[in-house]
Amino acid sequence: MASKAASEAPAGGAAGAPDPRLPGETAADRAPERYPVAEPGGKYLAPGVAGAAKILVVGPLGVGKTTLIGTVSEIRPLSTEALMTRAGARVDTRGGRTKTTTTVALDFGRITLDGDLVLYLFGTPGQQRFLPAWRDLAKGALGALALVDTRDPAASFDALGNLEDLDLPFAVAVNAFPGSPVHSEDDLRVALDLLPSTPLVSCDARDARSSVLALIALVRHLVHAATESS
């Protein structure tokens, strides 16, 4: 990973948030009615479900993983948040002063896309010391959504590096926080050392539709990658 590049990313960008659309995607592909956001409480799978995929949601502490899974999940999400301890405070420095809990095992949620594809979402603990758990969680996963906070893009290097080590295809979603510097897509790609084919979208983890669109960008990428390699 290009660890130096992100710290050199220009603050305050020119072009605004990256366009969430993928090359070749039309506005109709993203029409809200195509992807109705599931109502929470749907305990059972919809009858038309034809496939399922395990997806990781990764990123550093405080980037919005637990929030995103809770926002999109149609079942009550499982969250294993624990109070951050004084011992952890020395190392768990991200997340701002308001963050008092952290995911210690995993987050889990489920979402059905387009009525027929179920995504099982597994949020990984953000801290690199949980890497062994991370590797276990990655078993059987088809891909990952990597969240990035532009206030500290370098904090995402560990997660992106882990995904590369695991050879797990991923999409990057910039989670917008108030006061986050806005970078052009090109600057972000350079800073995060992304391949041209890696989708880069923006989202607000508290907003269901934008979070679902980020997951759709990932699924399209996975389908495309699978088609290319077959």
Q: Which one of residues 22, 77, 92, 103 is an interface residue with Mg ion (CB under 5 A)?
A: 103
Pick out residues in 108-127 that bind ligand GDP (CB under 6 A).
Answer: 126
What are the helix (H) ranges across 149-193?
157-166, 185-192
Q: Which of Mg ion, ligand GDP, none does residue 205 bind (CB under 5 to 8 Å by kind)?
A: ligand GDP
Burial track 101-131 (b if 16+ CB lie within 10 A, e otherwise): ebbebbbbbbbbbeeebbbbbbbbbbbeebe
Position 67 contacts Mg ion (CB under 5 A): no
Q: Which one of residues 17, 18, 55, 67 is an interface residue with ligand GDP (CB under 6 A)?
A: 67
Position 124 contacts Mg ion (CB under 5 A): no
Which token pair is 162?
């882990």
Which token pair is 225?
């990658």
Which run of H or of E encompasses 138? helix 131-138
Q: Which of ligand GDP, Mg ion, none does residue 206 bind (CB under 5 to 8 Å by kind)?
A: ligand GDP
Pick out residues in 142-161 that bind ligand GDP (CB under 6 A).
Answer: none
As measured in angstroms, the least distance from the Cβ of 70 to ligand GDP is 8
173 bridge partner residues: 147, 201
Question: Which of 148, 143, 197 is closest to 22 using CA atoms?
Answer: 197
Position 103 contacts ligand GDP (CB under 6 A): yes
Query: Which residues make up the interface to ligand GDP (CB under 6 A)?
Result: 59, 61-67, 95, 98-99, 103, 126, 175-178, 204-206
Site of interaction with Mg ion (CB under 5 A): 65-66, 103
